[in-house]
Structure 1
Amino acid sequence: MNEDEIIIEPSIDIDDESHKTLHQIRQKLENPSFLNYSDNLEQDATKEGIKVAAVEPTELDQEEQVLEKERILGITALAKAHHTHQLQLLSKEQEARQMLQQQYSKQQKTYKHIKDNSAHNHQLNQIAISKVFRRKELAVKTAMRKKKADIEVKLQKTSQKETKDDQQLLLGGITRVYKLTWRGRPQVVEIRIEECRDIKDKLEKGEYWIRLTTKDKIGGKILEYEKLTEMWRNMSDPYSHDGKHTSKSMKFKTTMKVLVPSRLQILPTMVYCFQILDFNSVIVGEGYFPIINNVFELNEGKFKVPMVRSSLKSSIDKFSGIEKLYRSNIDEWLCNLYFQISVLPQVIEGESDYSVQLLGNQVVQEEIPSAFPIINYEELITPDQYSEYKHSVVKLGVLTTPKNKLQYIIAEIIIEFGFKPIRHWAIYFSLILFIGMVWLSRYIHYSGQWLYIKVERYPEEVFSARLFTLEIRFSDNTNLRQEIILLLIGTIFQCFWFAFFCAWAWASLKWIGRYPELAFRFMQTWGIVMVLDPIITIGEALIWGFVYGYWGIDPFRLYNYFERAEGNGVVGVLLTIFLYAGLMGLCAFVVYNYFIFLHMNGRLLDMYMRLNATENTFFIPHDGEVSKRYLEWVCYKAKNYRSMNGDSRIISVMDYSMHEAFSIEVTKSATHVIIYTVGSDRSRSLYRQFIRLPDGAISELSLMEYSHRMTYSQRYSGSSTPIKLR
């Protein structure tokens, strides 16, 4: 700061009171006694009664040491007390832990005991409930069977929303669904007829219909039902066919609903009958397809069936007969019919049906709507779609058991004897035939015994013919061998004559081609009577014993023999039962083979093979397959073809030598026939082409596609010879 600078003090306005206070403070500060602290302390101490004195430093040190010892002793005592307290706490904590552990163990034992008892009681309760439930369920099933119904029970897992009931939770969330099938109530089937492939020029130009019926067997009677509405029509809409070789298929694309017999009444011989009709209602094509599969369930899925020309002859009543017809002559084959089968709910329009579910203690009943579900069918376009259609109906993954095979024989017996329709004439005819066969078997039985007696030269006591049997009595002076032969010879004599008639029927079918149906019915009745012959003989012996007092007929001869020889006839009774059982088994084996291989020209075996054979077993013509005769006719027409414009046709034949992929030495040959149209300017255009496959089949190829050639070129590798023009 410069000396010349003048410091200007700020002007502060102070009031009078403040000025007086500051003046008093200045005076006290200037007073010399103001800062004399010792004098002020003495004065204040005197006023307060405090004595101020001086203490020696040594005394202060001693006093401090004493205080320090006292403080250390206090801290030590406090630490000991704290430690003792901590030990007491730990001891009490340990005791509390042990007490809690004991209580926990005791509670666990009590809980386990209660749990075991509860599970055991719950199991006993469930067993008791299950017994009562099964008893009640069996009573319901028995009552429904008396009313000609069958109950099928299925178990279904319920959702969490449906398992709120405690009773349902105890059952594990399982719902029992009962499905009721009434005996005699027909089943509903929907058949989608897609198309008939490769009709070509086999049919003339015109409109054609497809008619679908169900029959009891091939060539048998139509199974008719009362249909209330138009939805049950069995005729398709007309399809207009131009009769040209370029028209490969007749796409009907029609859906029909068909009624078939109930699951309890259906038989393996029942079939679908497909017929192609022209505008005059004349059958130009016919095919048969089985209704059920190898496990006696309705067929469902995609299938194809070969259609033969016109209607079948009455002599053809087997699937093998139909196959033999077009196997021997492919011209008898018309086309392959592609169709789909869908099994609909067993509800008919105008009727009501219900679904019953058991949810705990509640019974939930829901009405099933009578409207059929709508099924969307895809259009056939690609070859892969056509390959999905099969001719075999066998259900894969199911083993055929002897029980299944026995069902075929039982079904055949039911059909032949007419047991299904009670009022049918066949059952009365079979009953009369059975009674007559029992009467005739008595004469054949004792005729065999009489011949054996003559061979052995026994002295006969009585030989007389009665109205219902032959009476033979001879001496009891025989040995065991002779008694056994006498016991068996009557039934064996019947078996011999039955085998003779079987050989006669086989020779007639082989050399003549037919055998009277009445004779087949006679033989089947005879076979059953032959199996039951020992039982009929026992019944006849009881009548002779109780009515006429004569106990010397076949079943009692061994008993009498051992009674005379050893004094105990029990061995004779046991031996008679054993021999009769073996004899009935032998007769049953003969009759079994008769029913399978010979009865009705082997229809039972044919039916069994049709339902159980795989796809490779059948002979199914290719869609475009033609006969050699047809190919020669086409080539003849092409060779003599001349148009007004001067066009002609030439035939080119190419032979292929094809080798198997795994071996060059294995060769097969194929022939490709190509027909060209040659114009006046010598230009060529493809008219038709055929290929003869290595298996001998002749198929016509499309003008744009080479699917058959591509298929075989992928399998075979080979070379072709030069083109030859003919």
Structure 2
Amino acid sequence: MFQPIDNFEENNEEQEPNFEQDETHKPLLLIRSSLNAEPNISYASELEIDGENEGVKLPSEFLDKEQKEIYLENKRLDGLNKLTSEHQDFQLDILNKEQKSRNKLKAQYNKQIGKIKYLEDHSAHKHQQRQVLVSKAFRKQEMKLKYAIKKKKGDLRVTIDDSVEGLMYGGGQRLYQVSWKGRPQPVEVRIDECRDIKDKLIRGDYWLKVVIKDRIGGAILSFNKCIQEWRNMTDPLFHDGKHASKSMKFLTTLLVLAPSEIAITPTMVYCFQLLDSLGAVVGEGYFPLINNCFELVEGKFKVPILRNSIRSSIDKFSDLEALYRRNIDEWLCNLYFQTHKQIPLLKGEKQVIVHLMTTQDLQEEYEYDGAILKEYEELLTPEQFEEHKFSVVKTGFLTTPRNKLSYLMAEIMIELGFKTFKHLQIYVTFLLLIACIWSSRYIHYGGEWLYLKAIRYPVTVFKALAFTLDMEYPNQLTLSQEIGAILTGQAFCILWFIFFSLVAFGTLLVVGRFPAIGFRIIQCWGIITVIDPIITLIECIIRGFVYDFWDGDSFRLYNYFETWEGNGVIGIMMTLFLYAGMMGIASFCFYNYFLYVHMNGRLLDIYMRINGPEESFFIPHDGEISKRYLDWICYKARNYRSINGDSRKIAISTFDFTDSYDSKYNMHAQHVSVYNVANDRSRTLYRHFVVLPDGAICELSQIEKRQNNKKFSDVLKGY
């Protein structure tokens, strides 16, 4: 039967399946558990995190207002700090990259600089090597050129001019100048005037002649003149012979020929001769041809002219000076002149100048159309006269020992005659040298024989041969005796040379002259005395090889040390030392003889003349007179009476010069005036003189009297 529904549901209620036991329903269980679980998601915190990441600030619902403000400020500061740190990191990153780039560029720059420097050094070294090779080749060719010119009796001088750029071989212009031995040098001589001749010469015409001599009082040097423009004599000038005629103004330019630079010698001089109408020499003066640099003198000069022709016995400048030092009446006047070198070419010849450039050679040619004379001013003022000097020293240059040695050697060669091989003098010199060598052998060994006899040592062999003395003695001397025997030979030669020199010097003092052949013999003997050890060594070597005799003077010390010590090297060194010492002593004696005695000391005189300053010479003042001449003027004035009854009176004034700062300074001067006194007792000045503190007496002109109220203050200038 049908049952009720409720019962039906209760009875028909089905039980739920157990999913936990069934593995197939496990995913469902997981879903159920997740749905039944409480949610753990914090949407607020996640929203804040997302907001911070996105840069959006969200308020929190869980904080009060004050805490919210603090929280927001902290967040803002945190954000700023973060931005700052990020910016700093970014800047540091940029700086690091910049530094790395700089280091990289610097490394590349240093590398490039190193490469450039290496290339420069390498190229400079190669260029220097090339320049050295080129320079050597150029010097070699230059030496060949000098040798070729020397064979042709010429001299090539090379100078450097650094002022020109772009030139080869040292960066300067090489200037070549050739001088030939037989080709003279033209010199322009300007004759200005002869001052204060006055009545020392009689009325008439006078000429002034300029010649060049090999020495004072020597022979005139002449040349074959190719053209007529070379003249050495002025036109005639009239002189009235009155005391008021103070000067003779020639105002003439002459062209004279001087020897070439390689033929010139220090003894050569200018000779100025004043000639009268008959051709007689009424005045003569000498002036050096070269200066202290061994060049032709150039500039403004003055030279004392002595009366008449100079005696042949006078051959030194000091002798000329001694003449007017002893007696001022021997002095005629002072000649003022100028000298200038001309181009050493003849008319129509060409002068060639070659410039060696780096890329090309430039050659310039100039044709010589004749001498172009300079224009000179007439001497009028005292300042113009003061520019003329007597000294020939070239200022700004010093004479080096090399110049002195060259000067000395040149004089020795001239005295021996080696400058002129075609002259008889050189053959006489050779004969004298041979005779001196022959006689020196006898004196050398004669001195040794006397020394051995003095120490009582036996001499086994002593005999005279044709060219020497043969002397032998046993090798049993002590070391000091051996040294004495070696030195005695040359010592005797030196003593004989000193004796000859003293004879020549004494003769010059007593007589005043000594034969030239005597000087030449002493000179040759001195040369042989200096080289006596060399002659002895050569003689010992010849005797050793020819006669097998090895006990000569040059080998005795070697044999001594070889015998007693078994080593003769010390003996060789000692022999060379002794020979060098004796040659030095002989050279010193010969030098002093040649300087002070030979040819009456002419060598020293020439050297002092061309190297002496202006203060070391005595030159008469213009207008200077002697005391005897002044006495004669005063004597004539006292006895003078004219046809009108005029007379002359003499007035003497004395002036004292003192210094307020120096009590010892006290100088005196006198002024002597000669007046014409007329009948009305009026006076006019006739002549007047001044006696300077140094004793010189000078005559003043009438113009100087009128222009100077102090009479002679200009003359006393400098005292």
Q: TM-score, normalised by structure 1?
A: 0.82
> Across the two proteins, how many residue pairs are aligned to each other?
625
Match of residue 303 from structure 1:
301
Deviations 1:487-531 (A, max 9, x none): 011100011111111111111111111111110000000000000
SS at the partner of 1:365?
Answer: strand
Asked whether the equivalents of residues 638 and 650 of structure 1 are also in contact (C-alpha less than 8 Å), the reply is yes
- Measured in 2, the distance between the counterparts of 1:709 and 1:445 equals 69
Aligned residues with identical type, % of pairs: 49
The residue aligned with 1:182 is 179
Deviates more, 1:311-320 or 1:472-481: 472-481
Aligned to 1:142: 143
Aligned to 1:389: 388
Say which SS state the counterpart of residue 259 (structure 1) adopts: strand
Aligned counterparts, 1:369-388, within 5 A: 369-371=367-369, 372-388=371-387
Which residue of structure 1 lines up, in the alignment, with residue 678 of structure 2?
A: 679
- 1:491 maps onto 2:490 in alignment: yes
Which of 710, 714, 718 is matched with 1:711 structurally? 714
Question: Residue 164 of structure 2 contacts residue 173 of structure 2 at CA under 8 Å; is this kept in 1?
Answer: no
In structure 2, the residue matched to 1:153 is 159
Show CA shifts across 1:655-704 (max 9, x none).
Answer: 11222464244211111110111122221111100011000000001112
Q: Distance in 2 between matches of 1:140 and 1:579?
A: 44
- Quick check: 1:409–1:595 contact (8 Å CA) kept in 2? no
Instruction: Tell me how far 1:400 sits from its aligned partner.
Output: 3.1
Q: Give matches, 1:339-350, under 5 Å.
A: 339-350=337-348
- Determine helix, strand or coil for the equivalent of 1:354: strand
Give the aligned residue type for 1:158.
V
Q: Distance in 1 between matches of 2:263 and 2:108?
A: 65
The match for 2:110 is: 109
Partners of 2:582 and 2:340 in 1: how far apart? 48
Question: Superposition pairs for residues 308-319 of structure 1, below 5 Å?
Answer: 308-319=306-317
Are the counterparts in 2 of residues 141 and 151 from structure 1 also a CA contact under 8 Å?
Answer: no
Aligned to 1:542: 541
Helix, strand or coil at the partner of 1:112: helix
Structure 1 stretches of at least 4 aligned residues deviating more than 4 Å after TM superposition? 89-104, 712-716
The CA distance in 2 between the partners of 1:664 and 1:136, in whole Å, is: 73
Query: What letter matches 1:710 in structure 2?
Result: S
Is the Cα–Cα contact under 8 Å of residues 192 and 251 in structure 2 kept in the other structure?
Answer: yes
In 1: Cα distance, 2:230 partner to 2:126 partner: 53
Letter in 2 for 1:144: L
1:221 aligned counterpart, secondary structure: coil
Aligned residue number for residue 132 of structure 1 = 133
2:402 maps to amino acid:
K
Question: Is 1:199–1:249's contact at 8 Å kept on the other side of the alignment?
Answer: yes
| Match among 221, 224, 230 for residue 222 of structure 2 | 224
Report the alpha carbon displacement of residue 313 of structure 1 after superposing the two structures with TM: 0.6
Paired residue secondary structure (2:206):
strand
Q: Equivalent residue for 2:18?
A: none
Equivalent position SS for 1:335:
strand
Amino acid at match of 1:422: F
AA at the equivalent of 2:163: K
| Cα drift, residue 715 of structure 1 | 5.7
Alignment correspondent of 1:215: 213
Q: Is the 8 A contact 1:654 1:673 kept in 2?
A: yes
SS of residue paired to 1:232: coil
Q: Alpha carbons of 1:661 and 1:504: their partners in 2 closer, same or farther (altered >3 Å)? A: farther
Q: Distance in 2 between matches of 1:356 and 1:521?
A: 47
Partner SS state of residue 146, structure 2: helix
Alignment check: 8 A CA contact 1:408 1:604 kept? no
1:153/1:177 contact within 8 Å kept: yes
| C-alpha deviation, 1:634, in angstroms | 1.4
The farther-off stretch of 483-492 and 406-415 is 406-415
- Supply the distance in 1 between the matched residues of 2:291 and 2:598 (Cα, whole angstroms): 22
Give me the whole-angstrom Cα distance separating, in 1, the residues matched to 2:444 and 2:508.
28
Deviation, structure 1 residue 582? 0.4
Corresponding residue for residue 237 of structure 2:
239
Letter in 2 for 1:180: Q
Q: Which amino acid aligns with 1:145?
A: K
- Residues 544 and 551, structure 1, Cα contact 8 Å, conserved in 2: yes
1:451 CA drift (Å): 1.2
Secondary structure class of the residue paired with 1:601: helix
Distance of 2:92 and 2:570 partners within structure 1 = 92
Q: What amino acid maps onto 2:340 in structure 1?
A: S
1:204 to 202, 205, 218: 202
Number of the residue aligned with 1:293: 291
Classify 1:328/1:126 alpha carbon distance in 2 versus 1 (closer, same or farther; 3 Å): farther
**Offset of residue 125 of structure 1:** 3.3
Letter in 1 for 2:136: R
Question: Which AA in structure 1 matches 2:713?
Answer: M
Query: Which of 325, 330, 333 is matched with 1:332 structurally?
Result: 330
- Map 1:13-92; keep pairs closer than 5 Å: none
CA shift in 2, pair 1:100/1:330, >3 Å: same
* Cα 1:383/1:464, change in 2 over 3 Å: same
In the alignment, is the contact (CA less than 8 A) between 1:144 and 1:151 conserved in 2?
no
Displacement after TM superposition at 1:118 (Å): 3.7
Change (3 A) 1:321 1:171: closer
Change (3 A) 1:123 1:584: same
Residue 402 of structure 1 corresponds to 401
Which runs of 5 or more residues in structure 1 are unaligned?
A: 1-85, 717-726
Question: CA–CA distance in 1 between the matches of 2:237 and 2:343?
Answer: 30
2:42 aligns with none
Residue deviations 1:77-115 (CA, integer Å, cap 9, x gap): xxxxxxxxx99x999998997797577546633542343
Kindly indicate whether the alpha-carbon contact (under 8 Å) linking 2:179 and 2:261 is maintained by their aligned counterparts in 1: no
Q: How far apart, in 2, do the equivalents of 1:623 and 1:713 lie?
A: 13
Secondary structure, aligned partner of 2:321: helix
Larger CA deviation: 667-676 vs 351-360: 351-360
Moved more, 175-184 or 440-449: 175-184
Show the counterpart of 2:616.
617
Partner of 1:593: 592
